[in-house]
């Protein structure tokens, strides 16, 4: 006799009931496990001060660049911190500190999900948890560490008062500039004791806790800092710490890092290293107190030569600001950088933060875009003024081919070429790809020009590797590269820039780097707002920019030592390149591939018409091409022929003289 079959409804209910039993059992088991873990979790001794150790930054050869992280902390009782300063910190970090539970279910859920999914394991941390993490635990980002943090925070909240926890937090949290605690921060930013802080100053310090080194207004992110400060002020008003009304004035701060260690170029390099460590996920606690060993890409010999070369070129013109960055082609390693005369007196980094108009130094990337579109170097464009765009030195010429326009810096030609093909080549090389170009940084220009050596762009970086104090590798930086240009396109742009380097419209031909194949060009801008020189060899790419701190034009001031806005950058570039190349074997740059076809967008003009035509330099022998370069050139020619725009082989066989037109 078969087993009696239950009705369908009863079978469904039995399954539901069994599921509920399983869930109840699982929840009970979880509660038991959590209870056991909680009971076994003890409050460990405070370890932050005892374990603090400075981190060491080195040059690429292992010699010491700097040591950062001395423990700067002065504890003060909570009663000595003004109520509005305490309220500012609560408004910034945890507005419900005094009445919300230490660990909220939503915060715990976010932390658990982040740990499981691989996201940010710090989500949901309140003031108590932040204090526990810094004072009791190590900075590793693991689920076990996060759970332990939660349990210790709960136990601490039951053993200590809210006021005690807030006092410890205010004396422990990091505010940037090497300052731990509100008293040290007050001295570092405002040169006063914490008890003398104004509400606006307290709000600024409270806002810094989120990202202290990034939000320091002395280091270039003023807009973000002001936005964070307004958020804290509004929070103070909404919680009753400040009466509602107009925002107070944004406070003035003292210069960052006045210690002698930051003098000269060292301060700029330290800040750049710390910024890149942040980008790789290292927090300030690890950087300043966990004894990291950080190897940079900076070459000490090239770096040491920079201040002397800049000083020689700029002379006594104290209004002239200079930014320099040198990058290794193919890897993006930053070999040297010059941010200003002295970090202690000028903390705005001219190499990494100053965004200045590139002017005609942007032309090679418009040229690369045109070559990719099949418009060859012999193609002719009108060279008359195009709206507000005029040629360098106001040269008057009816038309010019792209090779001549590159050689003599005819901005009008590239304005017309850009209107036809755009500037996507700049985007491929890490620059803004819009026209007219917006402000660019010297370090990005150096990396972009480095991509013209063989067509490969490598993102610039200053870190090589990071280890902990025991020598365990925490980070090894690999080049982040991508194909920016076909090798044949890069070869043609390089050939044009070699011609530009050999030609000077005022003095005639000159070899800028004796005995070395090199390519480069000047960059003049509207109203002489800035002057550039960017160029490269197979071993190093360097961008130099000058501008005036007073925002006056770079030239025609009277105290300016240069005859044109590009003369000083060119002199600095030549000196830096010669110094960096000293002792290295001579390596060739690729010869021209002559991609694309000759197209006529304007009738050719026989000669340009400067007041005194300079003599044309002799044509240099093109460097021997590798088999790969020859193959790329042949492929480019075949592609151009298939498109119905044949390359003029008779013309291409001849190396043109700079400035000559077909």
Q: Is 577 left (phi over 0), alpha (psi -120 to 50) or beta?
A: alpha
User: What pLDDT digit, counting tens, does each position of 140-178 carry?
Assistant: 555 555 667 777 878 888 888 999 999 999 998 989 888
pLDDT at residue 441, rounded to an integer = 97
pLDDT (0 to 100) of residue 470: 86
> Torsion angle, CA of 570/330/430/450, rounded to 10 degrees?
20
pLDDT: which is higher, 395 or 228: 228
pLDDT band at residue 67, thresholds of 50, 70 and 90? confident
Q: What is the pLDDT of residue 507?
A: 53
Residues 6 or more apart whose CB falls under 8 angstroms from that of 69 comprise 52, 53, 54, 55, 178, 287, 288, 289, 291
Burial grade of 550 (CB within 10 A; 0-12, 13-18, 19 or more): exposed
Which class for 407: exposed (0-12), middle (13-18), buried (19 or more C-beta within 10 A)?
A: buried
Please tell me the predicted confidence (pLDDT) of residue 604.
66
Mean pLDDT of 131-144: 66
pLDDT of 480 strictly over 80: yes
Amino acid 622: pLDDT: 40
Query: What per-residue confidence (pLDDT) applies to 661?
Result: 32
pLDDT > 50? residue 610:
no
Active site residues: 93, 360
374 within 8 A of 596, measured Cβ to Cβ: yes
Mean pLDDT of 599-603: 88
Q: Work out the percent of the chain whose per-residue pLDDT is above 70.
A: 75
Of 128 and 445, the structure prediction assigns the larger pLDDT to: 445
Structure confidence by residue, pLDDT tens digits, 233-258: 999 999 999 999 999 999 999 988 87
Question: What does the pLDDT read at residue 7?
Answer: 65
pLDDT band at 657 (very low <50, low <70, confident <90, very high): very low
pLDDT of 632 > 90? The answer is no
Predicted TM-score (pTM) of the model is 0.73
Round to whole Å and give the CA distance between 78 and 183.
Answer: 11
What is the distance between the alpha carbons of residues 353 and 222, in angstroms, rounded to a whole number? 12
pLDDT value of position 560: 46
Q: For 558-597, what is each residue's pLDDT tens digit?
A: 444 445 678 889 999 999 999 999 989 999 999 999 999 9
Per residue, the 3-state secondary structure of 341-364, as one string, reads CCCCCCCCCCCCCCCECCHHHHHH
**How much is the pLDDT for 78?**
95
Orientation angle between helical segments 199-208 and 83-93, nearest 10 degrees = 30
pLDDT at 612: 34
The percent of residues in the chain predicted with pLDDT above 90, rounded, is 54
First CA to last CA distance, the chain: 106
pLDDT, mean of residues 188-211:
95
- CB burial of residue 647 (10 Å; 0-12, 13-18, 19+): buried
d(CA 589, CA 535): 12
- As a whole number of angstroms, the distance between CA 624 and CA 392 comes to 32
- Tell me which of 96 and 258 has the higher pLDDT: 96
Q: Which domains are seen in the chain, by residue range?
A: 68-262 (1.10.3810.10), 322-342+350-463+478-548+565-598+615-652 (3.40.710.10)
- What are the tens digits of pLDDT across the range 307-321? 999 999 988 888 899
Q: What is the pLDDT of residue 436?
A: 86
Question: How does the average pLDDT of the chain come out, rounded?
Answer: 81
Q: Is 346 left (phi over 0), alpha (psi -120 to 50) or beta?
A: beta
| 47 pLDDT more than 90 | no
Q: What is the pLDDT confidence band of residue 545, given thresholds at 50, 70 and 90? A: very high
Least confident segment among 15-24, 74-83, 370-379, 554-563: 554-563
Highest mean predicted confidence (pLDDT) among 67-81, 111-125, 253-267, 321-335: 321-335
Q: What is the DSSP string of 238-297?
A: HTTSS-SSSPPPPPP-PPS--SGGGTTTHHHHHHHHHHHHHHTT--HHHHHHB--EEEE-
pLDDT at 205: 97
Q: Within a 10 A sphere around the Cβ of 87, how many other Cβ atoms?
A: 22
407-420: pLDDT as tens digits: 998 999 999 999 99
């Amino acid at each position: 006799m078969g087993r009696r079959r239950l009705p369908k409804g009863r079978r469904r209910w039995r399954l539901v009931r069994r599921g509920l039993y399983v869930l109840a059992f699982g929840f009970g088991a979880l509660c038991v496990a959590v209870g056991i873990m909680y009971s076994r979790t003890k409050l460990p001794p405070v370890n932050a001060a005892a374990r603090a150790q400075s981190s060491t930054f080195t040059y690429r050869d292992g010699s010491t660049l700097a040591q950062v992280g001395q423990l700067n902390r002065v504890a003060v009782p909570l009663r000595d911190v003004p109520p509005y300063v305490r309220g500012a910190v609560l408004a910034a970090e945890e507005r419900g500190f005094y009445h919300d539970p230490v660990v909220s279910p939503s915060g715990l859920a976010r932390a658990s999900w982040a740990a499981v999914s691989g996201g940010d394991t710090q989500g949901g941390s309140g003031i108590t948890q932040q204090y526990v993490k810094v004072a009791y635990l190590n900075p590793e980002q693991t689920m076990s560490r996060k759970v332990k943090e939660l349990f210790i925070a709960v136990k601490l909240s039951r053993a200590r008062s809210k006021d005690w926890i807030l006092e410890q937090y205010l004396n422990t949290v990091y505010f940037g500039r090497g300052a731990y605690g509100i008293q040290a921060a007050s001295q570092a930013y405002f040169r006063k004791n914490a008890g003398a802080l104004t509400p606006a100053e307290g709000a600024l310090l409270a806002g810094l806790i989120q990202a202290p080194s990034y939000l320091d207004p002395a280091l270039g992110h003023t807009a973000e800092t002001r936005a964070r400060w307004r958020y804290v002020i509004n929070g103070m008003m909404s919680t009753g710490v400040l009466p509602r009304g107009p925002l107070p004035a944004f406070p003035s701060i003292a210069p960052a890092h006045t210690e002698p260690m930051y003098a000269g170029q060292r301060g700029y390099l330290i800040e750049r290293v710390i910024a890149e460590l942040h980008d790789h996920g290292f927090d300030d606690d690890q950087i300043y107190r966990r004894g990291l060993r950080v190897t940079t890409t900076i070459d000490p010999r090239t770096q040491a030569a920079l201040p002397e070369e800049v000083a020689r070129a700029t002379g006594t013109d104290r209004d002239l600001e200079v930014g320099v960055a040198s990058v290794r082609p193919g890897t993006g390693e930053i070999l040297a950088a010059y941010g200003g005369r002295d970090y202690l007196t000028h903390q705005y980094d001219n190499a990494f933060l100053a965004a200045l108009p590139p002017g005609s130094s942007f032309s090679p990337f418009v040229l690369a875009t045109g070559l990719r579109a099949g418009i060859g170097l012999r193609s002719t464009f009108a060279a008359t003024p195009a709206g507000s765009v005029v040629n360098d030195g106001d040269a008057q010429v009816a038309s010019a081919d792209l090779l001549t326009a590159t050689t003599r810096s005819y901005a009008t030609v590239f304005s017309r070429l850009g209107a036809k093909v755009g500037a996507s080549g700049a985007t491929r090389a890490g620059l803004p790809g819009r026209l007219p170009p917006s402000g660019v940084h010297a370090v990005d220009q150096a990396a972009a020009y480095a991509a013209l050596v063989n067509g490969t762009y490598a993102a610039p970086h200053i870190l090589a590797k990071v280890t902990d104090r025991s020598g365990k590798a925490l980070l090894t930086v690999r080049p982040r590269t991508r194909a920016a240009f076909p090798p044949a396109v890069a070869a043609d742009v390089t050939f044009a820039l070699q011609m530009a380097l050999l030609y000077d419209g005022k003095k005639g031909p000159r070899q800028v780097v004796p005995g070395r194949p090199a390519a480069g060009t000047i960059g003049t801008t509207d109203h002489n707002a800035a002057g550039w020189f960017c160029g490269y060899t197979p071993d190093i790419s360097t961008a130099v920019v000058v501008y005036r701190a007073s925002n006056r034009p770079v030239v025609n001031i009277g105290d300016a030592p240069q005859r044109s806005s590009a003369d000083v950058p060119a002199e600095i570039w030549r000196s830096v390149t010669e110094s960096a190349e000293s002792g290295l074997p001579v390596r060739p740059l690729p010869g021209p591939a002559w991609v694309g076809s000759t197209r006529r967008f304007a009738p050719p003009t026989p000669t340009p018409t400067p007041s005194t035509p300079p003599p044309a330099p002799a044509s240099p022998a093109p460097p021997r091409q590798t088999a790969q370069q020859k193959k790329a050139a042949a492929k480019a020619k075949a592609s151009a022929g298939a498109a119905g725009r044949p390359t003029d082989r008779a013309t291409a066989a001849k190396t043109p003289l700079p400035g000559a037109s077909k």
